[in-house]
Structure 1
Amino acid sequence: MLDRRRRALTAWLAAAILMTAGAPASAASLEYVGTYIWSSSQDSFGGFSGIEISADGSGFHALSDRSHLYWGSIDRDSQGILRGMNIAGYARLKDSKGLFLEPGYLGDSEGLAVADDGTIWVSFEGFDRIASYASPDSNAGLHPRPPKLPGMGVNSGIEALAIRDDGTIFGVPERSGLETRPFPVLTYRDGSWGRAGEIRRDPRWLPVGADFGPDGWFYLLERDFRGILGFASRVRRMQMTDDGPQDEEILLETQYLQYDNLEGISVWDDGVGIRLTMISDDNFLFVQRTEVVEYRLRD
């Protein structure tokens, strides 16, 4: 009996060693870099729901949920920590006829993506649609509206917007209709809408921002709100394949009140590695503030 137990234990240990040797490396994580509090005396400043950082980290575009687009340069110290956001200009977005968009149903701008050719793509979740702009001051380019899916309605349309290096637009709605129902991934290319699978939903987390990193991964920023407990944020990344999202990893999950209402995310290469820049929506309330929070990816 003792020999039988010894042989069984030896076999179990051998199998455990083999499984450990073949196990994948530990998942990636995020390392905190810094937080910058951004402020301005302009009446339209605030409510930022999207951000795009230039490839070299020196410039930015920031979108408010009231159809105002800001752009400018970024100051960093010798360690690469953000020390200033310099506004070079701002514009109020227009419709296809050249009329300024009013805040609310028509002007609830949420998602921001900038293509390699400089085209600015914006998603709206009041009157659910996407629009393209050759420049911040140009009229909106008209595009077919996205298909209506369960959960997509007023104030719950495409909240997270990203553009892949092949020019395909990816959009994720803020809600899916049921806490047990995954979020659909919509695609837009050459005037046609499609689907790219579904993203697993954890009941309390809702998508608010997305970006494709220079590493080809799709990064999704999510938010949870618990009233007086404040906001918590989470970042997931995944590979977008023809069969849908795969290889999902949770990179970050913050505590409540750790940051303000993070809604926009941009992923770029700072010369050392992948960096994530996130911006908060202060809802134009004096009790909140605009934070620009940065993390570096550690594989």
Structure 2
Amino acid sequence: MRRRAFLAVTAGLVLIAGLEGSASPTPPPGFLDAFHWTMDDPRFGGFSGIEVAENGRDIIVLSDRGAYTTGQITRDETGRIASISAEPVRPLQGADGKPLKPGFSDSEGIALAADGSVYISFEGRARVLLYPKLDGPAKNLPSPADFKAMQENSALEALAIDAKGTLYTLPERSGGEHKPFPVYRFKAGKWDKRLQIPRDGGYLPVGADFGPDGKFYLLERDFRGLAGFSSRLRRFTLGPRGFDKGEILLETPVGLYDNLEGISIWRDAAGHLTATMVSDDNFKFFLRSQIVEYQLPD
């Protein structure tokens, strides 16, 4: 899409200009790994969502071109990623059992339910689909009128599911720099819009997850033009009155990583809270598909 193409080209210019430049910025505290992931598959890339199993190895990765792959991470004795083996990237199906059509295939957010079913949120035509089996046909969830009014390339980027099976999604834009982001909640077959998250600075939501601690984690990005991307991770507690003000857990230096878009929160074998994030290479040779991991404070 136009805005993404501009971001990708600009990021490419930054990378090319910096090939002979100075060293990369220093990662913030908690850094574990940044694994450059490659695979010989024409559908590989554009990754916008990720789910990591409790074992820290099994993964589902979502592409923003209506496709997905499943695989397994092999880790070394320190827990760092040694390699990733994955199945061929496969197209998502619509309710008719056929691959999603252009204009309906901009898959952005992913949420894995306790029963193994998968929910996916979309831009383009903003909606959420349920996949009882990821390799099978989708079921359409009802869509509120607000979804139809969302900007085509700034709709339902982030999607998460809590321990009770309630879905939460929010658009990439709030409609104003000082307006909070509306959070849409799907429960008992209906959507409501009673919740919101404060907007803070130029960061925009791109991914979300509920951690094993029951808290809501929001991955955000800020595009700084020729300087590149900065990513931020905020954590919120959801109570009877809604989300609290939240806390910033992570803010990466501009240009350290490419376009981080998907996030999964899990605990390693030692009980450490871990954030695994995936970057969208926009199918451009000068961008990378990375798996980036940080250890988070409890």
Assess same fold via TM > 0.5: yes
Q: Residue 49 of structure 2 aligns to a residue in which SS? A: strand
Question: Deviation per CA, 1:217-243, whole angstroms, max 9, x where unpaired?
Answer: 100000011222111100000011231
Whether the 8 Å contact between 2:41 and 2:89 is mirrored in structure 1 is no
Which residue number corresponds to residue 37 of structure 2? Answer: 38
Whether the 8 Å contact between 1:73 and 1:88 is mirrored in structure 2 is no
Find the aligned partners of 2:249 and 2:63 in 1 and give their Cα distance. Answer: 26
For 2:242, the aligned partner's letter is: G
Which residue number corresponds to residue 113 of structure 1? Answer: 111
Whether the 8 Å contact between 1:36 and 1:82 is mirrored in structure 2 is yes
Question: Deviation per CA, 1:134-193, whole angstroms, max 9, x where unpaired?
Answer: 222211111101341797221121110000000000101101111111001111122200
Which residue number corresponds to residue 263 of structure 2? Answer: 265
Which residue number corresponds to residue 73 of structure 1? Answer: 72
1:203 CA displacement: 3.6
C-alpha RMSD over aligned residues: 1.6
Question: Deviation per CA, 1:102-154, whole angstroms, max 9, x where unpaired?
Answer: 34x21000001111111011001110100011222211111101341797221
Larger radius of gyration: 1
Whether the 8 Å contact between 1:196 and 1:240 is mirrored in structure 2 is no
- Counterpart check, 1:97 vs 2:100: no
Q: Residue 210 of structure 1 aligns to a residue in which SS? A: strand
Q: What are the ranges of 5 or more consecutive residues in structure 2 without an aligned counterpart?
A: 1-27
The change in CA–CA distance for 1:135 and 1:150 in structure 2 (over 3 A counts) is closer
Which residue number corresponds to residue 18 of structure 2? Answer: none
- Counterpart check, 1:236 vs 2:234: yes
- Counterpart check, 1:298 vs 2:294: no
Which residue number corresponds to residue 160 of structure 1? Answer: 158
Whether the 8 Å contact between 1:72 and 1:89 is mirrored in structure 2 is no
> Which deviates further from its counterpart, 247-256 or 258-267?
247-256
Runs of 4+ in 1 over 3 A off after TM superposition: none
1:270 CA displacement: 0.6
Which residue number corresponds to residue 212 of structure 1? Answer: 210
Q: Residue 158 of structure 1 aligns to a residue in which SS? A: coil
Aligned residues: percent identity?
46
User: 1:8-87 residue pairs with structure 2 within 5 A?
Assistant: 31-87=30-86
Whether the 8 Å contact between 2:41 and 2:88 is mirrored in structure 1 is no
For 1:216, the aligned partner's letter is: G
